[in-house]
Each structure stands twice: as structure tokens, then as C-alpha cells.
Amino acid sequence: MTTPVLTPEERRNIESGSWFSKLSPALRHDIISRTIIRRYPDGIQIGTRGAPATDWVAVASGAVRASSVSMSGKQITLTYVEPGTWFGDISLFDGLPHTHDATTLGPTTLLIVRKHDFFDLLSRHAELSEALLRLNCRRLRLMFASFEDLNTRPLSARLAKQVLHLSRSYGISYGEEIRIGLQLAQEDLAQLVGASRQRVNQELKGFEREGAVRVEPTRLVVLSRDKLLAIAER
């Protein structure tokens, strides 16, 4: 059986990640040497809310949908984990179960570091503890920024910011257009910005009238980043 290896694009995604790229070469090499490469099709649940944590994970390609279930049994999207992002360390640190479900969105390649290897890396590299502390401080700041946006910004601004973020993470350029290569329903977008699908649909039609985006079935195409930025700053 052939051992999976990263494609050049997947390796670039990992090595250029905003957190990973700032680690020392020795630490980056040691982390990669401990990883197991796993490729999954769309819709595979790789983590379950309430289950014990066993792995530290990075997305090399594709996406992981973090979600929860409402009181009515409805699946609610919390965020999408993009290529180059590491996750799972919080539950390894505090020993508590996973806080949400994690499911692949589209074909997805993951790097997996087993729990015992994660703690061995921590014991060998003081740098890793400090780097993970900075990473979790950044996560906390982003969470507070999201709370602030939810309570102070109009829906149009929140939605424009979300579309810009998705275009940076999953955008594929075709001339001046940027096609978001993540298959999203408007219901998914609505959950990300804390609104109903109907209101998000209305806002997207407004974005189309302003020439900022084009809405296609399960796809969004950014026509003008400048116009989206202007909407986001209103």
C-alpha cells in the first residue's frame, strides 16, 4: 500500500500558513515528520461533539466544516477551517471533549498528529508552547471581533466581510473575477453571519445590483473587491 504524500500545492498551503510559516525550520520539520496524511471525500465526519480529543490536525487542502446542533435538531455552521490552519489543540490541552462536530466539505486532505506525538513535540520544543499560546490569543481576538460585528455592524457589512474572507481563503482568479471555490448554500452563509437565509438572499441581490458579486447556484463570484470593501466599511 502506497504511503500518501502531499502534493506541491498542499505542501505550499501548509508551509505558507500564517501560523506555521513563523515557526523555526527545526520545529516545522519535526512537526511534519510526526504527521499522518489522510485524504477524505466530501461529507466525512472527522470529529464529534462530546468525543474525547485524540489528534492535532491541519488542513492541507479542502475545508472542514465546524458545526453544532440547535435545540430543534438543526445543523448550524459555525465556521470553515481553511487550508494552512491547525486545530484540535485546545481539547488536547484542557482534556475536555470536542465542542463541535467537524465534517469535510469537498475532497479534503488533512495532516494528523497523534496525541502522544503532540505532547512529545511540546516537551522537546519550548517554542511550540509559546507559538500555540499566540495562536490561541489570536483566536480569542477574532472571536471578540466577531461578537462585536454581530452586535454593532449591519448585516450587509457582516456579509461583505464574510464574502471577502471566503474569497481570500478559497478564491480562484479568472481575470478580474474571483470565484469562491467552496460550495456553499445561502443557508450556510446565513448561519455564518447570524441571519436568515431570506435576508442574506436580499443582501446578495443588492450586492449584485452594485456590481460587487455574481450569485451562481452554490457558488459566489466576486466581481469587485473594492465594492465589497466599501460595503463592509459602511
* Separation of alpha carbons 166 and 182, rounded Å: 8
Distances (CA, A) of 162 to 23, 106, 120, 166: 28, 19, 37, 6
- With residue 55 as reference, give the H or E element that holds it: strand 55-61
pLDDT at 228: 95
Which of these ranges, 102-111, 183-192, 209-218, has the smallest mean pLDDT? Answer: 183-192
pLDDT, greater one: 152 or 73: 152
Tell me which residue of 227, 203, 226, 225 sits closest to 215, measured CA to CA: 203
In the chain, pLDDT over 90 holds for what percent of residues? 78
Could you say which DSSP state residue 173 is in?
E
pLDDT digits (tens, 9 = 90+) for 111-129: 999 999 999 999 999 999 9
| Amino acid, single-letter form, for residue 227 | K
Residue 1 predicted with pLDDT over 60: no
Identify the bridge partners of residue 61 per DSSP, sorted by sequence position: 109
First to last CA, the chain: 56
* Separation of alpha carbons 68 and 209, rounded Å: 34
Global pTM value: 0.88
pLDDT at 218: 76
How many helices (H) and strands (E) are present in the chain, helices listed first? 9, 12
CB 19 within 8 A of CB 90: no
Average pLDDT, the chain: 93
CB 119 within 8 A of CB 76: no
Average pLDDT over every residue of 30-45: 96
Average pLDDT over every residue of 184-211: 92
Q: Is 107 helix (H, G, I), strand (E, B) or coil?
A: coil
Q: Look-up: residue for cell 459555525?
A: 78
